[in-house]
């Protein structure tokens, strides 16, 4: 009989970060990993160490410094991958896990791998055995499990368990399964695979048909005891199953889910969700369940009346239970550095003195223009501040001129080392003029791929946050940037500079982080 405890395996830093535009810097990944530990996840999949030196270093640093959860590194069934993952998770000691995966479906065997079934079984055995040399905590995933012939899937799972895997993950890699099919696959594999009682079974669902959470819950009802998920549901293509939705579904519908529990500190959910959104410049849709701004907003008069009479008339969860509400007193321009530092600590940030100084100085700028600085404003400022390791260019001043029938002009001065570099330029709009003028100074030529602006809090003086991604190199992936200011033209310039700095900090290769081209065994 499986236990009632569901292990939450968070893959925000691996599958989540894999989605275009969500790339995080090592510093941001560390902040997210620390927050995941506070949130109470059981396992953090910290990255894919073979993918790049940056991924390797980042997994290793998380394994060295983050305490509580198991730290996991992903590897294909390839010796070099497994060795890299083993070395990266080593600092976590007994809390290090290697996750090896191998395509098993007919389409993956024939078209991607060009391997027959017996070769797949041999590779799975060799891969798991090699991983066991580094740690006894080995997870195996038959990739595209939900489209793998069931008899062969059972054989693969038996083989992996026989070779030493202690967790078996059955991914719905393409988001193709329906809840009924996905649950049936678990029931059948668990019933038929020899040794299944010695392994923890895990779900891993993608959201191509919007079924990722439903499928994960169905897997659990059929005996899975680990769920792989991401905050805000970020991930490849349409994303992965959203952690917050799974946890709150299990908790809210204890009657349906047979009193299954997780170790998640639900009051940390909103904070964690915002940290991830800030780190990867991915805005949370307003109507996103649990963490969207509208998730607990009742606009119709009938609903509001019902809520005032008895909250449960229209609310199935208490917003405070997931970390909404109880806003602290906002800070003002009179608040000192200690007050800002203490609020940042409360929000979960551990900043180095230089970072705190930079955030404090931006806080003062904003405090001069805005009566109250709210927690969300601070999260936005700090998120922008820690996104680059090195600021090659920083904004010294920005002036724009525009008006009906006038060509918009920008005059910008950037600090570059000890020098100040200035230029004037024009564009089709004010933002365009600003970005082109920055390019003129840096000598780069960025192509704007995505541009989003949102008001962080309410009111006409709200901080406007700009998230954008820029392609500096035709072959590469875009570099993301984000910034906040009370003036959206200034936020746009700062966000563009952040993307520029990021691209430069990564050696002008924001793209190549997405990665050496990974062949298959």
83 sits near ligand KIV (criterion: CB under 6 A)? no
- Please report how the helices 269-280 and 375-385 are oriented relative to each other, as an axis angle in degrees rounded to 10: 40
Minimum CB–partner distance for residue 173 and ligand KIV (Å): 3
Residue among 258, 230, 235, 270 at smallest CA distance from 246: 230
Residue 167 or 173: the one with the smaller Cβ distance to ligand KIV is 173
Place of tokens 């649950």: 183
Rounded Cα–Cα distance for residues 22 and 29 (Å): 11
The three-class DSSP label of residue 412 is: strand
202 sits near ligand KIV (criterion: CB under 6 A)? no
Place of tokens 């001069």: 368
Phi first, then psi: give them for residue 489, nearest 5 degrees. -70, -40
Which partner, ligand KIV, Zn ion, none, binds residue 486 by CB below 5 to 8 Å per kind? none
Going by the DSSP 8-state scheme, the letter that residue 230 receives in this structure is: B
> Among 28, 104, 141, 469, which residue sits at the site for ligand KIV (rule: CB under 6 A)?
141
Q: How many other CB atoms are there within 10 angstroms of residue 454's CB atom?
A: 17
Which partner, ligand KIV, Zn ion, none, binds residue 141 by CB below 5 to 8 Å per kind? ligand KIV
State the pairing for strand pair 70-76/96-103: parallel
Which partner, Zn ion, ligand KIV, none, binds residue 45 by CB below 5 to 8 Å per kind? none
Sheet holding 406-416, edge to edge: 394-403, 406-416, 419-426
> Among 42, 143, 155, 506, which residue sits at the site for ligand KIV (rule: CB under 6 A)?
143
Closest residue to Zn ion, based on beta-carbon distance: 15
Residue 11 or 25: the one with the smaller Cβ distance to ligand KIV is 11
- Beta carbons of 255 and 243 less than 8 angstroms apart: no
Residue among 54, 51, 67 at smallest CA distance from 28: 54
Phi first, then psi: give them for residue 325, nearest 5 degrees. 85, -170
- Beta carbons of 503 and 513 less than 8 angstroms apart: no
Count residues binding ligand KIV (CB under 6 A): 9
> Among 6, 7, 15, 124, which residue sits at the site for ligand KIV (rule: CB under 6 A)?
15
State the pairing for strand pair 138-143/70-76: unpaired
Rounded Cα–Cα distance for residues 59 and 129 (Å): 22
Structure tokens at 309: 């009479």
- Beta carbons of 198 and 166 less than 8 angstroms apart: yes
> Binding string to ligand KIV for residues 475 to 504, with x set by CB under 6 A, is what?
------------------------------
Structure tokens at 143: 């990739």
Which partner, ligand KIV, Zn ion, none, binds residue 101 by CB below 5 to 8 Å per kind? ligand KIV
Rounded Cα–Cα distance for residues 382 and 424 (Å): 29
Stretch that binds Zn ion, among 9-17, 20-28, 124-132, 367-375 (CB under 5 A): 9-17
Minimum CB–partner distance for residue 412 and Zn ion (Å): 42
Residue 15 or 139: the one with the smaller Cβ distance to Zn ion is 15
Which partner, Zn ion, ligand KIV, none, binds residue 509 by CB below 5 to 8 Å per kind? none
Stretch that binds Zn ion, among 15-23, 73-81, 284-292, 352-360 (CB under 5 A): 15-23
Minimum CB–partner distance for residue 186 and ligand KIV (Å): 15
Q: Which of residues 160-189 bind ligand KIV (CB under 6 A)?
A: 169, 171, 173
15 sits near Zn ion (criterion: CB under 5 A)? yes
Residue 101 or 360: the one with the smaller Cβ distance to ligand KIV is 101
CB proximity list for 154: less than 8 A, separation 6 or greater: 188, 189, 192, 193
Residue 15 or 42: the one with the smaller Cβ distance to Zn ion is 15
Rounded Cα–Cα distance for residues 377 and 465 (Å): 9
Which partner, ligand KIV, Zn ion, none, binds residue 48 by CB below 5 to 8 Å per kind? none
Residue 78 or 356: the one with the smaller Cβ distance to ligand KIV is 78
The three-class DSSP label of residue 398 is: strand
Residue 19 or 24: the one with the smaller Cβ distance to ligand KIV is 19
Stretch that binds Zn ion, among 10-18, 243-251, 402-410, 448-456 (CB under 5 A): 10-18
Instruction: Calculate Rg over the CA atoms of the chain.
Output: 24
Residue 15 or 245: the one with the smaller Cβ distance to Zn ion is 15
Residue 10 or 15: the one with the smaller Cβ distance to Zn ion is 15
> Among 34, 60, 147, 204, which residue sits at the site for ligand KIV (rule: CB under 6 A)?
204
- Beta carbons of 75 and 85 less than 8 angstroms apart: yes
Binding residues (CB under 5 A) for Zn ion: these are 15
Binding residues (CB under 6 A) for ligand KIV: these are 15, 101, 141, 143, 169, 171, 173, 204, 206
């Amino acid at each position: 009989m499986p236990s009632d405890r569901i292990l939450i395996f968070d893959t925000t830093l691996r599958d989540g970060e894999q989605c275009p535009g969500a790339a995080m810097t090592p510093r941001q990944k560390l902040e997210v990993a620390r927050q995941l530990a506070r949130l109470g996840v059981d396992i953090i999949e910290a990255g894919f160490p073979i993918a790049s030196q940056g991924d390797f270093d980042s997994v290793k640093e998380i394994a060295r410094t983050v305490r509580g959860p198991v730290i996991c590194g992903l590897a294909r069934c390839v010796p070099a991958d497994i060795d890299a993952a083993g070395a990266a998770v080593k600092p976590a000691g007994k809390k290090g896990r290697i996750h090896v995966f191998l395509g098993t479906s007919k389409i993956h065997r024939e078209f991607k791998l060009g391997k027959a079934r017996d070769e797949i079984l041999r590779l799975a055995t060799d891969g798991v055995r090699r991983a066991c040399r580094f740690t006894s905590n080995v997870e195996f995933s038959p990739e595209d499990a939900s489209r793998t012939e069931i008899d062969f899937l059972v054989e693969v799972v038996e083989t992996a368990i026989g070779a030493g895997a202690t967790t078996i993950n059955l991914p719905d890699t393409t988001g193709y399964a329906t809840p009924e099919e996905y649950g049936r696959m678990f029931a059948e594999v668990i019933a038929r695979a020899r040794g299944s009682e010695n392994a923890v079974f895990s779900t891993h669902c993608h959201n191509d048909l919007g079924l990722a959470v439903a499928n994960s819950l169905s897997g659990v009802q059929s005996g899975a005891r680990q769920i792989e998920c991401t905050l805000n549901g970020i991930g490849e293509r349409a994303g992965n199953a959203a952690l917050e939705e799974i946890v709150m579904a299990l908790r809210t519908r204890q009657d349906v889910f047979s009193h299954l529990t997780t170790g998640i500190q639900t009051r940390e959910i909103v904070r964690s969700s915002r940290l991830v959104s800030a780190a990867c410049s991915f805005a949370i849709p307003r109507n996103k369940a649990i963490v969207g701004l509208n998730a607990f907003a009742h606009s119709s008069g009938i609903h509001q009346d019902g809520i005032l009479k008895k909250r449960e008339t229209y609310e199935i969860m208490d917003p405070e239970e997931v970390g909404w509400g109880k806003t602290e007193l906002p800070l003002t321009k009179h608040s000192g550095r200690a007050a800002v530092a203490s609020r940042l600590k409360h929000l979960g940030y551990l900043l180095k003195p230089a970072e705190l100084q930079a955030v404090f100085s931006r806080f003062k700028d904003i405090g001069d223009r805005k009566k109250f600085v709210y927690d969300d404003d601070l999260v936005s400022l700090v998120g922008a501040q820690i996104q680059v390791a090195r600021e090659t260019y920083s904004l010294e001043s920005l002036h724009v001129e525009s008006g009906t029938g006038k060509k918009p002009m920008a005059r910008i001065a950037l600090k570059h080392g000890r020098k100040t570099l200035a230029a004037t330029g024009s564009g089709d709009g004010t933002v365009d003029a600003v970005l082109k003028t920055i390019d003129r100074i840096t000598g780069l030529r960025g192509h704007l791929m995505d541009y989003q602006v949102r008001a962080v809090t309410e009111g006409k003086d709200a901080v406007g946050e700009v998230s954008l991604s820029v392609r500096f190199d035709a072959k590469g992936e875009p570099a993301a940037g984000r910034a906040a200011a009370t003036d959206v033209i200034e936020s746009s310039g700062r966000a563009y500079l952040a993307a520029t700095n990021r691209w430069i900090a990564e050696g002008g290769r924001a793209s190549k982080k997405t990665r050496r081209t990974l062949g298959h065994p």
